[in-house]
């Protein structure tokens, strides 16, 4: 039996992935900033633990409480929709602390044990927007693209040590709190130069027609790379993510 630790399990992709792996007989460590035992089924194979990926002491405690794990899924993140010119720099620092440095800190924390055992899988959930430029999410995109970049190098560094590294790139999903969590940080609606673009972009985000990514798409992608040693470094999750990846490959 294998054990997986997933960050950001209070809702969305992380919550669905925790349920997905539980249903398939894995031991699951589901982490959240504020643990909520009501969102997951009761199971003796489940640990729900508090974790703030921006705090080293929180990371050390969760790994001590979890015990040895076989797979790490870095999913915790938040969004920041705003024109680059108007983004509050303190909010940008918080964004990178969570999305980029938090992911890096988790990777660094598990790698010593993975290297010692000569086994382990690291799965970083980023975004398909890293392969396609869109307005308003430049800083969010940058925080996730940084994870893509260091993951590519990391995969080369640890391959001979028996450790695998993968990227799961979801598309646009109506099943996450991305919009709700991100909108308080939105700037520019009162700016006559940016307001029309912001309104158009928000309308596209709210539009649920056309191909979308569902939480199960992401869980299936995570499941694939957790179990398939031949899986590629990057896995798009969701039909829109697949289309964007194909477009990016055509442009390359």
Cβ atoms of 142 and 98 within 8 Å: the answer is no
Rounded-to-integer distance, Cα 66 and Cα 62, Å: 6
CATH class of the structural domain 3-251: alpha beta
Tell me the helices (H) and strands (E) count for the chain, helix number first.
9, 7
Q: Catalytic: which of 19, 116, 140, 159?
A: 140
Q: Residue 59 belongs to what H/E stretch?
A: helix 56-66
Count Cα neighbours of 100 within 13 Å in the Cβ-side half-sphere.
18
Q: Catalytic: which of 42, 132, 144, 194?
A: 144
Q: Known catalytic residue: 144?
A: yes
Domain ranges of the chain: 3-251
Q: Known catalytic residue: 3?
A: no
Along the 252 residues of the chain, how does pLDDT read in single tens digits? 699 999 999 999 999 999 999 999 999 999 999 999 999 999 999 999 999 999 999 999 999 999 999 999 999 998 888 999 999 999 999 999 999 999 999 999 999 999 999 999 999 999 999 999 999 999 999 999 999 999 999 999 999 999 999 999 999 987 665 555 556 778 888 999 999 999 998 888 788 888 899 999 999 999 999 999 999 999 999 999 999 889 888 776
pTM: 0.94
Rounded-to-integer distance, Cα 87 and Cα 160, Å: 41
């Amino acid at each position: 039996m294998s054990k997986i630790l997933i960050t950001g399990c209070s809702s969305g992709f992380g919550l669905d992935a925790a349920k997905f792996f539980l249903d398939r007989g894995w031991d699951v460590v589901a982490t959240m900033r504020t643990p909520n035992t009501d969102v997951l089924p009761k199971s003796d194979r489940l640990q729900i633990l508090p974790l703030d990926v921006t705090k080293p002491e929180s990371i050390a405690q969760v790994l001590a409480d979890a015990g040895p794990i076989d797979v790490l899924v870095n999913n915790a993140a938040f969004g920041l929709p705003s024109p680059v010119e108007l983004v509050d720099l303190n909010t940008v620092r918080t964004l990178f602390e969570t999305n980029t440095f938090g992911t890096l800190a988790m990777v660094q924390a598990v790698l010593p044990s993975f290297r010692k055992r000569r086994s382990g899988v690291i799965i970083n959930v980023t975004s398909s927007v890293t392969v396609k430029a869109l307005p308003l999410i430049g800083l969010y995109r940058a925080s996730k693209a940084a994870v893509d970049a260091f993951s590519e190098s990391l995969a080369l560094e640890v391959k001979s040590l028996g450790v695998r590294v993968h990227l799961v790139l979801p598309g646009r999903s109506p099943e996450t709190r991305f919009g709700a969590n991100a909108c308080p940080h939105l700037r520019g609606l009162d700016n006559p130069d940016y307001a029309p673009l912001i309104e158009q972009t928000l309308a596209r985000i709210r539009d649920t027609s056309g191909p979308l990514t569902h939480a199960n798409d992401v869980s299936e992608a995570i499941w694939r790379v957790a179990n398939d040693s031949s899986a590629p470094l990057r896995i798009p999750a969701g039909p829109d993510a697949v289309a964007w990846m194909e477009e990016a490959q055509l442009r390359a």
